[in-house]
Structure 1
C-alpha cells in the first residue's frame, strides 16, 4: 500500500526536480525514503519466509520421527508375535510327540 502511494509522489517529485535545488533535495529525500521502505519490506518478507520454512521443516521432522517410532513399535510387536507363535508351535509339537509315545 505504501509503495502504491509513494511511487506517484516520487514521480511527481522527479518531475519537479528540474525546478529548483529545494525540489531536487526533496526528490532525493523521497527516493531515499522509498528505498528504505522497500528494504524494510523486503527484510520483513525474508524473515517471514525463514520463519515459515523453519516451522515446515520442524513439522516434517516431527512427522518423520513419529513415523519411525510407529514402524519400530510395529516391528517389535511383530517380533514378539513371531516369538509367541514359534514357542506355541513348539509346545504343540512337543505335546503331539508325547501323545504319540504314550
Structure 2
C-alpha cells in the first residue's frame, strides 16, 4: 500500500502546484502573448511565401526576394519579442 500512498501524494502536490500557477495568469498578459504569437506566425508565413517565390526566380531577383523575406521574418520576431516584454511588464505591474 505504501507505493499507492506515495503516488497519491505526488499527484496531489502536482495538482496543487498547477492550480497555483493557473491562478497567476493575467488576462492582459495572456492577450498580449497571443498577439505576439500571432505576429510571429504571420511574419513567418509571409517570409515562407516570399522564399517560395524566390525559389521560382533566378539571379539577383531571387537574392533580393530572399533578403526581403529574411527582413520580414526578422521584423516579425522583433515585434513579437517587444510584445512578449510588454506582457512581462503587465504581469510585473499588475500581479494577481
> TM-score normalized by structure 2?
0.46
> Which has the larger helix fraction?
1
Per chain length, whose mean CA-contact separation is higher, i.e. which structure has more relative contact order (CA < 8 Å, sep 6+)? 2
